[in-house]
Homo-oligomer: A and B are copies of this chain.
Amino acid sequence: MFDLLVLVTYDVKTTSMTGQQRLRRVAKLCQNYGQRVQNSVFECIVDATEFALLKIKLMEVIDQEQDSIRFYQLGNNYKNKVEHFGVKESLDLEGPLIL
């Protein structure tokens, strides 16, 4: 099965302790499949089954009354669809970026 790039973007009011906790849990889940590329942007490499599972897990973590989460499917030919400018690392990034 093809591996696909799925971008997960997440907006949470991190002014609250519980919001920060949810963001950490979202990051941790996504990092099982890829990595954090910006504070609230995660690039996950998944097949269709993993993507479905990841979505279910993320739904259990986020607060749909307060948070916003978006999934963008970039397909399997994703390397030429992503461009980066500026700094590449932030304090909480783990591992290398795709780009």
* Chain A residues at the B interface, C-beta cutoff of 8 Å: 7, 9-11, 37-41, 59, 62-74, 81-88, 90, 99
Contact = CB atoms under 8 A, between A and B. Distances in A.
Contacts of A88: 68
- With most chain B CB atoms within 10 A of its CB, the pick from A66, A73, A88, A99 is A73
Nearest to A7: B72
A8 to B, nearest CB: 10
B72 A82 contact: yes
A42 B10 CA distance: 13
Contacts of A74: 72, 74, 81
A82 B71 CA distance: 6
25 contacts: A9-B9, A11-B41, A37-B68, A37-B70, A38-B40, A38-B68, A41-B70, A59-B85, A64-B86, A65-B86, A66-B86, A67-B86, A67-B87, A68-B85, A68-B87, A68-B90, A69-B85, A70-B82, A70-B85, A71-B82, A72-B72, A72-B74, A72-B81, A73-B82, A74-B74
